Structures are given as C-alpha cells and as structure tokens.
Homo-oligomer: A and B are copies of this chain.
Amino acid sequence: MSIFIQAEEMKAVFLEKLKAHGVTDMEIADECAAIMVENSVNGVYSHGVNRFPRMISYIDKGYIKPDMRPTLVQSFGAFEKWDGNLGMGNTNARICMDRAIALAKQFGIGCVALKNTNHWMRGGQYGLQAADAGCVGICWSNTMPNMPAWGGVDCRIGNNPFILCVPKEGGHLMMDGAMSQFSYGKLETTRLAGKKLPVIGGYDTNGELTDDPGEIEKSRRLIPMGYWKGSGMSILLDMIVTILSDGNSVCEVGKLGSDEYALSQIFIAINAEKTTDRREALLENIIEDVKNSIPVSEKSRPRVPNERSNHVREENLVDGVPVDESVWQTILAL
C-alpha cells in the first residue's frame, strides 16, 4: 500500500538519516537528499526513495565515503580526468557534469572522465542538468556485471545506462536507457503488478525465451536491447569509460564482490546556445513529424522521448510522493 509523503518531509527525513549514518559534510548531505527527492518527485522512484535504504547500507559498509569529494587528476584542456574518491555517486556526478558544462562554456565542448565513483541513481538527472545550462548532455556509467554478453549465459557485461539529452524550452528531450531491454527495476514493478513484459525480455532458468519478469529475475539472463547490438554497445561504452578514466571496468567492479561500487563514468556537455538561432523550430519540426506518424493503433502511438510527463511531477508536488508503506517504514527505522 502506498502512502503519500510531501517532498519537504521526505527531504528532512533523508537529511536526518544521512547525518545519523555519519555524513558530516552538510553541503553533500543536502545535495544528496535534494537529488533523491527530485528523482522521487519526478516519478523515478526506483532511483529515488526506493533506493535510499541501499544507499545508507553502502555508507554503513564503507563502500560510499560520503564526506569525500571528487578531485581533479589530469587536465587536457576541454577534457579532464577526475577521481571520485568513492564519494556519493549522485553528488559526484552532479559536480562532474557541472565541470563538463563549465568546460563547454569555455571550449564549446567539455568532457569529464570519472573513476572511483558510486551509483549515480537516475542518470538522466545529469543529462537534464546539461540541458538546463543550454548544453547537449551525453553521459554514461558502467555497472557491475549484470547481463550476459550476447551468446553467453553468465553475467559478464553491464547494462551501462546511456543518456542523450537535448535542451528545449518547456521540456528537454531525453533518452535515458540501459543496454538491457529491461532494467531490473522494470522487471520488479512488472512482476509486482502481476503483468507480463510487453516483449521478450530474457531467458527463464530452462534457457527458454520469456516475457515473465519473475523468471528473468531468477535466471539473471536479461536480453541486451537489440540482442548483439546492445551487447556490443555495452562493451564499447565500458571500454571507453575505462581507458579514459583509468578506472574500473565492469569485470573489475564484479571482482569487488556482490555489491556495486567504485564505478567509472563519462560526462560530455556540448554548448548548444550559439549553434543555431532556430533551435526551438528545428526541434518542434522533428517532434511534429514523429507525432504525425500513422499510428499502429490508438493505444500505440509514436512517442518522442521526453522527461517523465510533467503531470506526475505536478501531482507529486501537490499530493505528495507515493511511497510503498513498508519502504517508508524501513527508511524511518534506518
């Protein structure tokens, strides 16, 4: 059963729990709490309120060193290497995308390669951050091995979320997707809703293709998006982030144990403020054209990738964020 928690109350509770678990840098605590609330208000519960207990447990286990901030390792001009020092994943990511944006304002494009960081929660957040600054945002993270390479059975590659974001007045356009056809979060919510996946999402424990989310959770044999294509793209994203950051690759993260930490990430911002004086018209033109497609059915009309619809945000700001009661009780007891 869901209860509804106002954003302000949620932030106060997050802050209190972060302090109680040893976070002494109040700027980091405040920003971390703000990002977790923001994701929840925007409807990305899996990387907001629902993930908060695991974040706290990672602090307790020492994987996250919440008072550490990222530090510059090496500068090449518009491209910099940073060390996350195992600090908070979301505040590290925010700081590094800020740096990429600053470089983009100076050089037209900026890139930060970050090692030794932690789960950034909702990756799209940093794409939107770039777009808010008038930049195209491109970023990705590697993960623990959580998907078989195409042709393999055991988890050897990451689902390495990849984000593309374009600035637009009234709502940026964004693709924020894992290299797997479905995330574990989507499998869980679909299973809990008693539903099947809309398309085949992986294999069951007998090695048969299935649209049953629970079976895929058991086998951990997710299908990469586009089969060999998502598998190949996952591997390349991991290689790029590893050699540019000089950090852990997916397989090295896997060697750290069954928890996921010490990740590597890339943040690219490209300043789009002066490239054209008709940006809104160019984007509207693309959006209109896609929307004018002949639809497969009334239920299945083409969509332009966008932020989660604003009405979720508006509802959650007024009514409060819907939170599973047991999740909220867990958080209060942290």
Contact = CB atoms under 8 A, between A and B. Distances in A.
Interface in A77-91: 77-81
A271 B109 contact: no
A152 to B, nearest CB: 3
Q: What is the count of identical protomers in the complex?
A: 2
Contact of A152 (B80, B154, B296): B296
Looking at chain A's contact residues, is the secondary structure mostly helix, strand, loop, or mixed? mixed
A308 interface: no
Interface string A265-306: 000101110111011001101100110111110001111110
B272 A243 contact: yes
Interface stretch (A32-40, A170-178, A323-331): A170-178
A225 interface: yes
27 contacts: A76-B274, A78-B109, A79-B270, A79-B271, A81-B275, A107-B107, A108-B111, A136-B240, A148-B302, A149-B302, A151-B301, A151-B302, A153-B295, A156-B292, A156-B293, A175-B229, A175-B233, A177-B233, A181-B226, A225-B225, A225-B230, A235-B286, A235-B305, A240-B270, A246-B276, A249-B285, A268-B268
Interface of A: 74-81, 104, 106-111, 113, 136, 148-154, 156-157, 164-166, 173-175, 177, 181, 199, 207, 225-233, 235-240, 242-246, 249-252, 268, 270-272, 274-276, 278-279, 282-283, 285-286, 289-290, 292-296, 300-305
